[in-house]
Amino acid sequence: MPHGLRIKKSNGTVMLDVSDRITRLRYSNEVAANASGNTTLDDIANSLSVEFSVLVSGEGGIKAPHNCSRNGTVFSWTASSGEFYVSWNSLIFLFLYT
Amino acid sequence: MAYGVKIKNQNGEIQIDGTYRNMSLKENGNSISVSNNNDPNTYFTIINITATPLIPMILFQPNTDYFATISSYVKTGSNFSSFNAITQYNQTTTINWKLYTETPDLSTEKYGLRIRNPSNNLVFDSGKEYTKILDIQTVAPVPTSGYVDISHPSIENPFYLLSPIGIWFRYTASTKLHYYYKVGLKKLSSTSVRVGWFNFLLQVFDWGSSNESEGFSPTAKLVIFGAD
């Protein structure tokens, strides 16, 4: 017998099924331009995650968001800049989905 | 002894863990116009949202005509108040978007399931619509005209999140043209999408005799979410 949570609307439409992977926000932060860093999240060791970033109030000019990555339990964000583009404030996320 | 609730799906993957808050639908927009007038100050479209201090996650569906991307979120004070969408210069397209946050308030349902974490924050409410990750692809189109076509045959009309968004600048001395590029999405069909670089700003002025080309071109994640 399958397990998990299945939720239906009153008309029978399945809103959440027993095979669905729904996202849980584990970590978020607003990080400053030019600042790279990392944090250790011990509890994510056995979970799959997706990490991403987006500019905050970043239109105008050539502005780059941070690049996010995960290695084991370490979540890292790296600023990037060059001669013709600048690093900018970013919102960074780590979502768990298993 | 630890206590609480942990609900797993049939693959053993956690759906609800009683600690970390699930992201539920807060607001959405359908067939929203995104236009680009090729003006350096106003080339983007500001899409207002109901101000919230909660961190938003914004997914979108592009159209088939032009590339589009969600480039930045905008804060007013401590609240998120809008986001910026961009399409190709001198063009107009439409997008559908959905904004998710941690579940801030109760649904209006009279029956169902609600779970709170030890801080008494709402983790899950069965009357809400939650984000469902269906697939994750990594993409690295080559600047400044490269693209990657992603097919998801078992997933119809999903919403997408692309991150991080690459940006590139190029100057051609012989024509005095300044090209500005970002990476965005263009719908190919209900089960496929193109991830590619597009020119969002084109300016002409003399900037010297050297050709220039530089930018930020990361390997990005394309996260594919269920539409309902």
Contact A4 B133 (CB under 8 A): no
Which tokens is A63 given? 């502005």
Which of B7, B10, B45, B97 best probes binding to A when mutated, by most A CB atoms within 10 angstroms? B10
Q: Measure Cα distances from B119 to A3, A9, B52, B106 in Å.
A: 27, 29, 20, 16
Contact A56 B72 (CB under 8 A): yes
Chain A residue numbers touching B20 (CB-CB < 8 A):
24-26, 96
Whether pLDDT at B160 is above 90 = yes
Contact A97 B13 (CB under 8 A): yes
The answer to whether the beta carbons of residues B45 and B35 sit under 8 Å apart is: yes
**Domain limits, chain B:** 6-125, 133-225
Angle at A3 between CA B124 and CA A10, to 5 degrees: 55
Which of the four pLDDT bands, split at 50, 70 and 90, describes residue B180? very high
Which ipTM did the prediction report?
0.87
pTM to 2 decimal places:
0.90
Q: Calculate the average pLDDT of chain B.
A: 91
Average pLDDT of the residues in B168-185: 97
Average pLDDT of the residues in B56-70: 97
